[in-house]
Amino acid sequence: MQQGGTVERRTILKAAGASLAVAGLGATATACGGGSGSGDGTVTIRYAWWGGEPRTIAIKKTIALFEKKFPKIKVKPEFTDYEAFWEKFQTQASGGNPPDVFQNAVGFLRKYDKRGVLLDLKTQADAGNLSLDNFPNGVLANGQVDGKQIAVPVGANTMALVIDLKAFQKAGVEAKFGWTWDEYFDALQTIQDKLKIAGDTGYFSIMYLYDLYLRQNGKAFFTDTDLGFTEDDLTQWWEDGYKRVRSGLVADPKKVEQVKPKSALSAGLAASEFTWDNFSIRYEGEGESDYGLAPIPTTDGEATGQYLGSLMLSAFSGTEHPEEVAQFIDFMVHDPEVGAIMGYDRGILATTEQYEAFKPTDANNKGVAAYEEQVAEAGVLGKITPHPSGADVVEAAFLRIGGEVAQGKTKPADAAEALFSEAKAAFAG
């Protein structure tokens, strides 16, 4: 790790912007059935998503555009925050009444495909109602399960390290592509020694980061049906993390809890935090420093284990209007004006048409685009890790149990055993 230099402009990308609202708006009333029709041939489809007010405002604008182009198709919006969305969706799916179109994520694909809830969109693509072209960097594969296209990406993102630029510069440490985990922790030690703050906010309870670490070492968090690592692997990961909490290299979890919903990074408790690159907009809005995107540390100085994650659109297999639903999804992922409206709210725009239509003007979005371009050019992107049915439950358990380890409430070996036990139950469900 080089000392005494400034952070390279090429490798650390400025992040600035307003905070993303996490709290959702109240859900609108749910229509009965999977859609409806009228005597004049007009049909109504339901479209549901999670997210804050900025996303809802933007999506409603795109719905208005769609209804103008397709006057015989009306769209009924349903929206809420993340946790409430999936609680509601679970109930709707169990009752055979989910929305016709809905926002989805990789952790839920196999779960609801297994239950027969998701429409194979290849059938509509073959019918000419939906284009599956112009998705760069292999991101379309994120929505594929067992040869079926059960979701279509609307955005793409990848894991990144968000750093306090002033802290890194003041400590004289540098982040660059190809740096190792040892170099990362050495840098954090220098920051702790010189600035008397923790280096990291709590890396070891982030499932997706552990997935990258495993991928760097020839494994993965998930296989198609199970966990892709051992209890010993996880025990070591959590033991190392807890030692760094006790040494002060990782922020005190009690203080991290105290500043919520503010991030421990933007609250000044630590100098870095791992998250998805498009989430970096929150820090400038919350904090008083300057923040940037830095590369993921590596095991061998080359492979980061990274892949493109994405938010996606799926359709209900029992919709009464599959053609109209497919036309709606096609419009939402390909129409350039929709791309210009949505920007990077759900990640870098997934199709070429929309990516080219949105030209970011603020520093944060420019930084996110530049970071993803650099990652792609570095040739480190791989295919997304499979997520079996029950992955959503495992992700929540990993965060919760990892937090218990950080607070010293659970020993790492006991925590690993508990995670494996909960995962077994989740996969069997």
Q: Decide if pLDDT at 7 tops 50.
A: no
Return the domain boundaries, the chain.
36-152+326-343, 159-305+385-428
Q: Is 373 helix (H, G, I), strand (E, B) or coil?
A: helix
What is the predicted pLDDT for the residue at 35?
A: 60
Among residues 221, 240, 225, which one has the least CA distance to residue 419? Answer: 221
* pLDDT level of residue 34 (50, 70, 90 thresholds): low
Q: Answer whether 36-152+326-343 and 159-305+385-428 agree in fold.
A: yes
The distance from CA 225 to its chain's CA centroid, rounded to whole angstroms, is 21
What is the structure's pLDDT at 291?
94
| Backbone phi, psi, residue 207, to 5° | -55, -45
**Residues of 63-77 as b/e, b for ≥16 C-beta within 10 angstroms?**
beebeeebeebbbbb
Q: What is the pTM of this model?
A: 0.86
At 111-123, the pLDDT tens digits run 999 999 999 999 9
pLDDT at 342: 96
Q: Note the pLDDT of residue 36.
A: 64
Q: 130, exposed or middle or buried, with CB in 10 Å at 0-12, 13-18, 19+?
A: buried
Q: State the pLDDT at residue 37.
A: 65
> In DSSP terms, which residues pair with 149 in a beta bridge?
144
Give tens-digit pLDDT for 256-308.
Answer: 999 998 899 999 999 999 999 988 888 888 888 999 999 999 999 999 999 99
Q: Which of 192, 298, 295, 302 is nearest to 251 (CA)?
A: 192
CATH class of 36-152+326-343: alpha beta
Give CA torsion, residues 291, 296, 301, 304, to 10 deg.
Answer: -150
Q: Is the pLDDT of residue 6 over 60?
A: no
Residue with token string 């409806």: 36
Write the pLDDT tens digit of every residue in 326-345.
999 999 999 999 999 999 99
Listed in sequence order, the residues at least 6 apart from 167 whose beta carbon sits closer than 8 Å to its beta carbon are 191, 195, 197, 271, 289
Strands of 13-15's sheet in order across = 13-15, 291-294, 159-164, 270-276, 198-200
Given CATH 3.30.70.2190, say whether it is the number of domain 159-305+385-428.
Answer: no
> 18 phi and psi, to 5 degrees?
-80, 155
Going by C-alpha positions, the residue among 222, 224, 228 that lies closest to residue 110 is 224
